[in-house]
Amino acid sequence: MSDSAIGEVLVSGDDLRRRVAELGRQISEDYADRDLVLVGVLKGAVIFIADLMRYITTPCEVDFMAVSSYGSQTDSSGVVRILKDLDAPIEGRDVLIVEDIIDSGLTLQYLMRNLNARSPSSLEVCALLAKPDRLRVDLEPRYVGFEIPDRFAVGYGLDHGQRYRNLDYVAALEE
Ligand code: IMP
Ligand code: MG
């Protein structure tokens, strides 16, 4: 894609594929003999979860939630609204939230609280990307694909104003 808003490559397509495969193998090991439900957070996690689940070799189901966090275009406020809830109950099940990126962590903190209240057997997080310098809450994701610097990232599902989700690598937005 030739677009002057797309800056430096943060994670190449090859590195994404290698790491996503590795995460899939790890999750398959960790969740063998469990009752795994992957919960993808729309829309950013769509590409990640689609690739990740093909590397999971143990039985699993997939469900989706859509949330919107109030805030500016590049900063979330922690006030989250559920736009689409899960299709099925998760009580007694092993839930793994699949998220595109942890920035402040406020969105995930809200999601964790909300899903925990439904009494899953376990609740963990798998995030493709994390910006450790921006984290504002106490959150320990079980799986993180890559830690990235404090830049606004686009591609591989991540958008800016709904664009650039279709890039097959992760790049910094040129601001
Ligand atoms: P948080 O609540 O600050 O952790 O932000 C989480 C959500 O904001 C993510 O699920 C993304 O949808 C969005 N977001 C945060 N940082 C970025 C970024 O660098 N690029 C694209 N979306 C982002
Ligand atoms: Mg998101």
CA 60 from centre of chain = 17
Give buried/exposed letters for 150-169 (b at 16+ CB in 10 A, else e): ebbbbbbbbbbeeebbebeb
| Ligand 2 centroid – CA 109 distance (Å) | 13
Which residue's alpha carbon is nearest to atom 3 within ligand 1?
Answer: 104
- The pLDDT score that the predictor gives to residue 78 is 73
Q: Which CATH class is domain 6-68+85-173?
A: alpha beta
Kindly identify the ligand whose nearest atom is closest to the C-alpha of 165: 1
CA angle 175, 165, 75 (to 5 degrees): 50
Average pLDDT per block of 10 residues along the chain, 175 residues long: 89 98 98 98 97 98 91 71 97 98 94 97 98 93 97 97 97 93
pLDDT at 74: 66
Residue 68's pLDDT is what? 86
- Of 115, 129, 26, which is closest to residue 63 (Cα–Cα)? 115
Contact 11, 48 (CB under 8 A): no
Which residues sit with their C-beta closer than 6 Å to ligand 1? 44, 69, 76, 99-108, 152-153, 158
**CA 160 to ligand 1 center in whole angstroms:** 10
**pLDDT of the residue at 27:** 98
pLDDT at 79: 79
**Which residue has 């690598």 as its token pair?**
169
What is residue 63's predicted lDDT score, i.e. its pLDDT? 98
